[in-house]
Structure formats: C-alpha cells, structure tokens
Amino acid sequence: MKKVALTITAVLFALTVVIADDNKEAQHSVSIEIPTVALVDVEDADGEAQTINLTPDVSAIEAGEAVDFNTATDNSLWLNYTSVVAKNKKRNITAKIESGDLPEGVSLVLSVGGISTGNGTKGEAVSGTITLGKNAKDIVKNIGSCYTESGSNKGHQLTYSLDMDNSSYDELIADSYSVEVVYTITDN
C-alpha cells in the first residue's frame, strides 16, 4: 500500500510541475499587415460637396463694358485625402473635367491652397492657377503616408473661377452649362 501511495504522490508531483510550467510563460506570434490606402474626397461645410455655381456679377456693368468673368469665384470646397504608400513610393492628385461643356471662350480655373491640417507627408499643392480641361493635371504632388483630416476647413481649400478669352466673345451664348470635375489620387 505504501508503494501505491508513493507512486500516486510521485505522479501528482510530476503533473503539478508540468502544469506549473505551463502557467509561468506562454507565447505566440503576431502577424501585422499594413494595407496601402489611397482615398480622396471633396467636402463643403455640409459634408460631401454639392454643385457650386459660378456666375459673373453683372450688377455694376456699364453699357459698352465686357462682362468680368473673374467675378465668378467659389472657395467653399476642401480637398481631403488619406494615403498609406509602399516603401519609397509617392502619389499625386490630379483634376480634370470628366464630362460636360463650358461656354465657348470660357475656361474653368482652379487654385489649390496650402495645407496646415493633418499629419505625415501631405505633399505640395501646385502653385498658381490651373486651367482645367479633359486631360488630368497634377494639383498636389509628392504625397507619402499621411492624412489631411476630413471636412470643411481641412486639407486644401479649392478656389474655382472663370476666365474669358475676349477674342471668342462673339461666340458666347447665354445659357446654363454644367461640367463634372474629377479628382484622382494616383501612384507616381
């Protein structure tokens, strides 16, 4: 009986040591994958950008003067984006007129403001004005991993205006016109 009791005691002691070793330390691997992200949005004070209206101010025009198309401006929209790039990669944002037609002789001009919100490598806005057309033009260059924050007064302020080629004034027709501007974030 002493041998059986001693054997049971030895087995219980061995199990206690094994169980105790399991509780002292445990480990496992963690796999982390960071996806690439490329998101762009245009927002106004109410959220997603709505249609903006550009109409030259003719309230003070005198007979014999040309309509001043430079009075047609709007700066209510903001360009927001989020980007996570692969190693040693950069991105650009382009803008173009996707569809619709402008009045003869009239150009849609865009100016992209600087940026003070967000974090990361937010890129640089192209300085000056950009005349938009059917071909995409860079408006922000050298974007790395970053975010601009989301909403109005975040990211880059977009200022739209009209310009008129006075040599085409004879082809100008009074009517309503509409174009769709598309912004695209692309890898370099």
Q: Are the C-beta atoms of 75 and 52 separated by less than 8 Å?
A: no
- By residue count, the chain amounts to 188
Please tell me the pTM assigned to this model: 0.84
Burial 150-170 (b: 16+ CB within 10 A, else e): bbbebbbbbbbbbebeeeeee
Q: Tell me the residue ranges of DSSP E strands in 45-143.
A: 47-48, 73-84, 91-100, 106-112, 119-120, 124-125, 129-132, 137-143
User: pLDDT of 25-40, one tens digit each?
Assistant: 999 999 999 999 999 9
pLDDT digits (tens, 9 = 90+) for 121-165: 999 999 999 999 999 999 999 999 999 999 999 999 999 999 999
Average pLDDT, the chain: 91
pLDDT of res. 151: 95
* Predicted local confidence at residue 15, as pLDDT: 47
